[in-house]
Structure 1
Amino acid sequence: MTAGVPTLLLLLAGAGTPHRLPHEVEAVKGLAAESGRPTSPTALEPRYLPTDTVESIVSPGERFRVHFTRQGPNAVPLTDADGNGVPDFVELVGRTYERVATFYAGLGFRLPPDDANTSQDDGGDGRFDVYLVDFALRGDGAFRQEVCLEGTTHCTGYMLQENDFTGYGYPSDAEAVETLASHEFFHAVQAAYRPDLGGIASEGTAVWATERFEPALDDLEGFTRYYMSSPDRSLLTDPTGPGVSFNYGAGLFFQFLGERFGDGVLVALLEESVRQPEARWPLLLDTCLRRDFASTFDAAFAQFATWNLGTGPRATPGGGYARGEGYAPVLTAEAGLPTSMTSVRVAAAASRLFEVPGGAPFVAATFEPDPGTDPAALHLLVAAVTDDAVLRVTRVDGPEALRAQVAAQDATRVVVAVVDGRSEGLGRYGRLCIAATGQDASCAPLQVPDAGTPDAGSPDGGSPDAGGADAGSPVEPGEDPRTPTSSGGCQTAGGPLSGALVALLLGRRLGRRRRSPAR
């Protein structure tokens, strides 16, 4: 099968991940509510009709007031199995929001402030208000910010949520409400800190929050395709228009952060946003990682790019994401062997991925930034893969020479990724060269080794020696090859074994490994 095509076909076919559309529509998302709440005839749509009789109930934990009507297009399902006079759907909404709020508070997040002290309509009291209205398939929920109690921070607002989910395709009302409550209420949590973090941080962390609240929900799984189909798009710039789905797909980065560093890194990010109200979220995250987690944005992003090689059919239990088999595979560009590309651009906080045929004893790659370009925070990954596994990955990190190679005799393809881990800055250009054993590359010397002596201990006659110490550091797809230093920075993992011996031992072990059944 042609290199590069399988990944594209998997993305187009869905790779087992469900489709998911953005919850909010851009026309209503994040708008301050100067026009009034949906009970006002001047409110933006969706809103109640003047003829609607709007009722409300208080949730069991008394944190929320849920507003609804029984008539017209905004009517909720009227089933009332317990005969208490309140539609079951409305009670489901109240219970679910209570569960979500309790869960987020338990993770250490602050909850939205009381809205009784606002100068506008407070919905009847200081409780957080949820209005059930008809979105008519143009989104299914939105948080509307109203006022900030401390300058541009500590803000409050209210929630709009779809009234019946007719035509939305959710498996059940319970799953629909859990998805919307966990996602949209996390926007209210964000606003309780600082509401202007931008679309990628706002939607990305909300998608993470839903997954954290209930991993069985498929919101994150459905959105991963929007990031994995565009890994060359920077996480530093919010897209608009049709590209806004990328904001939701960026939830994969925040999922990585949560799995790699724990929930505390997301709490720290929001807390730091209040201490530095003018700073952009990547710089806030870098501050938190340096101070609290002995890492950096650069180190985290490089490992994120490595984890992304092992998703979909290539997910391996025990490596990388805990549920990576449900995520879309990363999109690569097809290239032949040997290949030389003289002007490869990689944006900050982004990756460029190429896929070449495997089967050679070794495949090696170099990336040479254009003259005068600062090579800091550049990384080169070379991964030997099959259709259903990542066999081994070699990674080298700038500012040293970006030259890496991987044993590829048992691989059907090799993925080469140029990664830029900066938290700010413009794109950088350079020359990428990829070649297999015995090929004469036209760009920088690759120093591809000879086939070497077969390893008699391998079942198939052995993988060849992985080459010298400058071939890069072999890593597992879910492993970070860089360990924290006492100053909070990172360094390449070393030890008494030479690079050649480490790679040889890794090749033996991975050569024997077979992919376990998907979880």
Structure 2
Amino acid sequence: MTPGVPTLLLLLAGAGTPRGLPHEREAVQKRVAESGRPTSPGAQAPRYEPGDTVESVVSPGGRFRIHFTRQGTHAVPPADADGSGVPDFVELVGRTYERVATFYVDLGFRLPPDDTNPAGDDGGDGRFDVYLVDFAGIGDGAFRQETCLEGVTRCTGFMLQENDFTGYNYPSDAEAVEILASHEFFHAVQAAYRPDLGGVASEGTAVWATERFEPALDDLEHFTRGYMLTPDSTLVLDPAGPGVTFIYGAGLFFQFVGERYGDGALVALLEESVRQPEARWPVLLDTCLRRDFASSFDAAFAQFATWNLGTGPRATPGFGYARGEGYAPVAKTAAEFPTTLDRVRVAAAASRIFEVPGGASFVGASYEPEPGIDPATVHLVVAAVTDDAVLRVATVDGPDALRAQVAADDATRVMVAVVDGRMEGLGRYGRLCIAVTGQAASCAPLHATDAGTDAGTDAGTPDAGADAGTPDAGTVDAGRPVDPIDDPRTPSDDGSCQAAGGPLSGALVALLLGGGLRARRRSRAR
């Protein structure tokens, strides 16, 4: 459990028992090494009772050993419809984990190494072990790391999973096991590379993995609100305390990476973590994007922020995410014309988003970083939108003057985003101006007859969503994914980058307590 996070908030937020920060993972690893697996009387909870008879079976593909008991608190459902002598629930777990493992291998990921341990408890052999135990409603699954075979890389561990899902609000046992297997087992996949990437990368890529395994599972859809409520929070630092909802919501960024660059970019991220065992995850991703995709973390984050303008009711065919209608709308600050804000702060890997009325011929915006600030990784995005569509987008990138405009006579709103694509650093300040044609403001657009820049391309035209120029040129860009999400690109066998191609705000607490953030995964039925 993340220190300082009330259990109630975690349950309401759908967070349950997250893997948490690197020091938590190390602490868990130490406790597991000292106390053993849940079959040991000294193991940390949840663990089997001393009088339980613990059985095990091997999954159909031979990769997993499933441990269970038929008695006491940790008993699995007894139904055995096929008369095999093995409870149906246990067979369901074995089949599902095999499907998940095969899927990840097909994407190009490596699986956890053999955990044979002659001197200790390895579950009976070198197979990956899944223990079905009762979480008593405070969670529903967890990967526990044990030993690293090569310094801080190639680590092994085992899975704990809820034994019967009684009292949880999953629609079926099958869906519950699919979500748990795809998410928590992906933590074991991460550990097979390097397990200390931090909460954002660890939980974010695991949320992505579940979505990639089965898009019909709505884990990502539920968690997007955790990020979209606070897009002004930096993506490259793990939040403290109840901000745990943010690290699950960060799965949206990795969903963007997968759609925009392909599955190979996520495989490459983990492969690169082994080659650079001390590097932070944004640096690893930047390395692979520059080497293999003629892009960068900065360019990717700027486009990610642009895609986020078209989610929920504003999801638009040909713009951004393939399934954006299921994602939460991004939070923004309402403003009027003309607006001048002298000190707008933007954190690294974050965006500040403002919304003004539409209907004017043109709406323009400018952002002037304070003297001494390098504007190279600052971006300005201006989007004409209606309540149910993104009409056109204009984007400008530093280090040139950040000034953009869009035609807005057919728009009900105009969204203005100031985006910072740095991988680290303190927040930076600048002067933001938003105005319409004819207003006495420095950023007021030119009259239509004098407009010298293209304000955007209608989303409904054949070219909507195509990049103008290079993929990250920063010109008018509706952000079409390079490949459909259901048509992944598979990296070659060597797995290299080249081959892979504080406290919660009052509003968020109120939202959680009011049920605004639907909590299915890791949540307790109420």
Q: Identify the TM-score tier after normalising by the shorter chain.
A: 0.7 to 0.9
Structure 1 match to 2:154: 154
Give aligned-pair identity as a percent.
75
Structure 2 match to 1:22: 15
User: Aligned AA for 2:380?
Assistant: L
- Could you tell me how far 1:168 is from its partner in structure 2? 1.8
Cα distance in 2 for partners of 1:307, 1:203 equals 21
Query: Is 1:23–1:142's contact at 8 Å kept on the other side of the alignment?
Result: no
Query: Is 1:20–1:219's contact at 8 Å kept on the other side of the alignment?
Result: no
Structure 2 match to 1:141: 141
Cα distance in 1 for partners of 2:75, 2:125 equals 23
Cα distance in 1 for partners of 2:195, 2:384 equals 42
Structure 2 match to 1:211: 211
Unaligned 5+ segments in structure 1 are 1-18, 453-464, 485-489, 494-498, 504-519
Structure 1 match to 2:266: 266
Counterpart mapping for 1:309-320 below 5 A: 309-320=309-320
User: Aligned AA for 1:437?
Assistant: T
Cα distance in 2 for partners of 1:170, 1:147 equals 33
Cα distance in 2 for partners of 1:298, 1:285 equals 10
Change in CA separation of 1:216 and 1:492 when aligned onto 2, cut-off 3 Å: closer
Query: Is 1:320–1:479's contact at 8 Å kept on the other side of the alignment?
Result: no
Cα distance in 2 for partners of 1:232, 1:215 equals 27
1:440-479 residue CA offsets vs partner (Å, 9 max, x unmatched): 22xxx21412254xxxxxxxxxxxx8x213x776696854
SS of equivalent residue, structure 1 residue 73: coil
Cα distance in 2 for partners of 1:451, 1:137 equals 61
Cα distance in 2 for partners of 1:273, 1:27 equals 18
Higher normalized contact order (CA 8 Å, seq sep 6+, divided by chain length): 2
Change in CA separation of 1:95 and 1:370 when aligned onto 2, cut-off 3 Å: same
Change in CA separation of 1:478 and 1:183 when aligned onto 2, cut-off 3 Å: farther
Cα distance in 2 for partners of 1:200, 1:81 equals 42
TM-score for both structures, normalised by structure 1: 0.84
Counterpart mapping for 1:97-496 below 5 A: 97-117=97-117, 119-441=119-441, 445-452=442-449, 467-469=451-453, 478-481=465-468, 483=470, 490-492=472-474
Change in CA separation of 1:482 and 1:224 when aligned onto 2, cut-off 3 Å: farther
Change in CA separation of 1:472 and 1:194 when aligned onto 2, cut-off 3 Å: farther
Query: Is 1:396–1:473's contact at 8 Å kept on the other side of the alignment?
Result: no
Change in CA separation of 1:296 and 1:482 when aligned onto 2, cut-off 3 Å: farther
Query: Is 1:383–1:394's contact at 8 Å kept on the other side of the alignment?
Result: yes
- Could you tell me how far 1:72 is from its partner in structure 2? 2.0
Change in CA separation of 1:331 and 1:492 when aligned onto 2, cut-off 3 Å: closer
SS of equivalent residue, structure 2 residue 376: coil
Cα distance in 2 for partners of 1:95, 1:202 equals 25
SS of equivalent residue, structure 2 residue 375: coil
1:363-397 residue CA offsets vs partner (Å, 9 max, x unmatched): 11111111111101100001111110011111100
TM-score for both structures, normalised by structure 2: 0.83
Change in CA separation of 1:481 and 1:56 when aligned onto 2, cut-off 3 Å: same
- Could you tell me how far 1:237 is from its partner in structure 2? 0.5
Change in CA separation of 1:474 and 1:325 when aligned onto 2, cut-off 3 Å: same
Query: Is 1:24–1:141's contact at 8 Å kept on the other side of the alignment?
Result: yes
Change in CA separation of 1:265 and 1:352 when aligned onto 2, cut-off 3 Å: same
Change in CA separation of 1:322 and 1:20 when aligned onto 2, cut-off 3 Å: farther
Q: How many residues align?
A: 456
- Could you tell me how far 1:361 is from its partner in structure 2? 1.0
Q: Root-mean-square deviation (CA), in Å?
A: 2.1
- Could you tell me how far 1:316 is from its partner in structure 2? 1.2
1:95-118 residue CA offsets vs partner (Å, 9 max, x unmatched): 000010011011111000000037
Change in CA separation of 1:263 and 1:324 when aligned onto 2, cut-off 3 Å: same
User: Aligned AA for 2:470?
Assistant: T
